[in-house]
A and B are shown apart, each in its own frame.
Chain A
Amino acid sequence: MSRGGSFFMLVVSLAAALVLQLVELPDAVAALRPLWLAMTLGYWALSSTSQPILPLAWLTGLCCDVLYDAPLGQHALGLVTVVYAVRKLRGTLIVFPLWQATLLLAPVWALYVFLMFWIDGLSDHPADLAARWLPLLTTTLLWPLAATLLSGLSARRSHRRAVLP
């Protein structure tokens, strides 16, 4: 029962992340846009083991590719890698306090950024190296906030479900 509830939350949060990834930002801060999708999928990979995160990450990545008009599979590969890495680190991450987990997750985001950069290079898309790494900074800074928010939301929802018959 609670699985169904948190699956709903999972899908809703992924859709929201996809929209946030696309929403127009002023040019000055556009390069700072955090990796919303990677962050959301990272949270769910960390917090729940019973969800089919890997296939969902792949599908979301494909959606992202279609919306960005990138080679099909680019973001899919990146997001699947993020989920795999977070799952592998899960044992360490859940016992760490939040700030240490935040630091430990930075290399995961870096891996994602590097993959995107690399595939862009392979597919003849010159990339500005300096601006590439900016999302890494904002994602790391926003992670504690996003993780707290998501866990708060899903806890509230499962609590309500438990109380109601």
Chain B
Amino acid sequence: MLWRIWAPQAPGVSRGSDRFLNTIAEASRKPLFPRGPALGLKFLLFAALSIALMVADTHGERLQPLRQWASWALQPVLWAADLPREVAELAQHFRSRESLIAENEKLKRQQLELQGRLLRMESLEAENERIRALLASATTLDRRVLIAEILAIDQDPYRHQIVLNKGSRDGVYKGQALVDAGGILGQVIQVNPSTSVALLITDPDHGIPVEVNRTGLQTVALGRGDGQALSLPYLPGNADVKVGDLLVSSGLGGRFPAGYPVATVHELRHPAGESFMEAIAYPTARLDQGRQALLVWNERPPPAAELAPQPPPVAQAKAKAKPRSPARAKETSREPRR
């Protein structure tokens, strides 16, 4: 190695360094210790900087502008990572005429069917409106929605997040609910100018207030973190819950719109010695299949709740009811990180 370090190089032989009787120009002379003693120091500097950033980032919102700016600048990387899917979709342009016709037929039938249901729904809605007017309540069923495309970006496999192609330019706000054809998918946790990141309901950080559709029993569904199931840990031992029950969002806490399907109960567990029952439920939304999702505007986007998230009443009640695990109950009311 050494001979190479001192070997004279063609480009800058003997330029202005005659007085050292050295034929190598200063510019092309390489340092004798290429690693340098400063490496450890530099490493420590960068490591300290990273740790300081991490602490600042997890304890406050001060780095949000930096993060948003950076994610705007990194947009090309996202597009590049999404390219393979775009190419795969190009292939779909060359589909046979028959399959298109068949699909068209199917869609027409489906549309007719839905139209029929919609007619019924309109009368129900009118009825609902009248009844709600009697109750002096301000909720309505139809809401502003926006279709967002899910970018084919794999996030960290240990976090259940997706990236959407709509951002603050389209009016997306933090905490906005995300649904698909089957039910509630999750909520927006990070809004960038033209993309946003949503947390799925299966993430262990996520809790959603639900009610059992059949009985109206209120509880909280937490993500289990395995990407498939939700868990309902705060059910009283004698609660009227059956396998197959539909869970719908209860709208408590003001973040999710009420009445959307969330999950169906798959299994009931009675842990020995516990006075609580746990239910395992599978989401009705197709969390890992769709390409599109619907952003739903809540009829009263809670600005106060955005700034200082209030624990939903359910979570508070459950925290009181189950003092043995206050930390987990608090988790449900906590806004997902950032």
Contacts and interface: CB of A to CB of B under 8 A. Distances in A.
A12 interface: no
Contacts of A132: 158
Nearest to B197: A69
A126 B204 contact: yes
Given A23-B81, A49-B34, A123-B58, A69 B50 contact: no
Contact of A25 (B63, B78, B154, B159): B154
A61 B35 CA distance: 22
Given A76-B46, A76-B53, A125-B158, A23 B84 contact: yes
Interface in B44-84: 46-47, 49-54, 56-58, 63, 66-67, 70-71, 74, 77-78, 80-81, 84
A71 B81 contact: no
Contact of A71 (B40, B58, B158): B58
B54 A72 contact: yes
Contacts of A30: 154, 157
A83 B158 CA distance: 25
A67 B157 contact: no
Interface stretch (A14-22, A100-108, A137-145, A152-160): A14-22
B90 interface: no
Chain A interface SS verdict (over half) = helix
Contact of A77 (B50, B158, B190, B205): B50
Nearest to B44: A84
Nearest to A123: B58
Contacts of A57: 46
Given A24-B152, A81-B47, A87-B35, A69 B53 contact: no
Contacts of B47: 77, 80-81
Given A23-B84, A55-B46, A68-B156, A63 B74 contact: yes
A58 B197 contact: no
A72 B53 contact: yes
B189 to A, nearest CB: 8
Interface residues of B, number: 49
B153 interface: yes
A76 B205 contact: no
Contacts of B39: 54, 84, 87-88
B81 A80 contact: no
A71 B161 CA distance: 14
Contact of B154 (A1, A22, A83): A22
B159 A73 contact: no
A66 B288 contact: no
Contacts of B54: 71-74, 77, 119, 123
Contact of A66 (B71, B85, B154, B158): B71
Contact of B80 (A19, A31, A71, A123): A19
A126 B225 contact: yes
B50 A66 contact: no
Nearest to A32: B157
Contacts of A31: 157
A70 B197 CA distance: 12
Contacts of A18: 77
A58 B81 contact: no
Given A24-B154, A49-B35, A90-B35, A58 B70 contact: no
B300 interface: no
Identify which of B40, B46, B161, B338 gathers the most chain A CB atoms within 10 Å of its CB: B46
A66 B70 contact: yes
13 contacts: A19-B77, A24-B154, A54-B39, A63-B70, A67-B74, A69-B190, A71-B58, A72-B57, A73-B50, A73-B52, A73-B57, A84-B43, A87-B35
Given A33-B157, A69-B197, A73-B52, 16 more contacts: A1-B11, A49-B35, A66-B67, A68-B159, A69-B190, A71-B53, A71-B54, A72-B54, A72-B56, A72-B63, A72-B67, A73-B50, A83-B43, A88-B39, A119-B54, A120-B158
